[in-house]
Amino acid sequence: MKICFAASSGGHIMEIIRLTGVAENNDCFIITERGGHSENNLCEKIYLVDQINRKQLTFAFVFIKIFIRCVGILRKEKADCVITTGALMGCIAAMAGKFIRRKVIYIESFARMDSASLSGRIMYPIADLFIVQWEEGLKYFPKAVYGGGIFDD
């Protein structure tokens, strides 16, 4: 299976990088934001896209640009699924995956113990599999699966 891991910079990509068990027996690549990615030992290939902020004036233009780029990357790499922890850039990659009929797995942020994230609310109806890291998350996303914490060792 070929997996696309997609996440915004910072804590979201740090959560993705912890998914070594998922990546071990699969071919994979990462899509993340320019200027914020960190070293990883998850996948050899990393694709960088522009950073996006939903409050910027050019939001719609940047959104479409990233969406089109992600569709191209997913087709080029022949990804079977997209796994994301959000935030906005990760959601765009997942939407691109759904657009070209790939499976989408969304993992709600580890930081979201007692509320639903905006990314989670966007991805809940889109994701083929929605995973929460805290049992409390099932209150907000009742059809989700409790998977435990990414940072739990």
pLDDT 10s per residue in the chain (153 long)? 999 999 998 888 989 999 988 998 899 999 999 876 556 779 999 999 999 988 999 999 999 999 999 999 999 999 999 999 999 999 999 999 999 999 999 999 888 778 899 999 999 999 999 999 999 999 999 999 999 988 775
153 part of a folded domain: no
Residue 95 lies in a domain: yes
Contact 119, 109 (CB under 8 A): yes
CATH number where 56 lies: 3.40.50.2000
- The span from the first CA to the last CA of the chain, in angstroms, equals 25
Query: In this structure, is residue 117 part of a structural domain?
Result: yes
Residue 83 in any domain: the answer is: yes
H-run or E-run covering 91: helix 88-99
Query: What is the total count of domains within the chain?
Result: 1
In a domain, 9, yes or no: yes
Does 12 fall in a domain?
A: yes
Domain boundaries, position 94: 2-146
Residue 42 lies in a domain: yes
pTM equals 0.93
Does residue 151 fall inside a structural domain? no
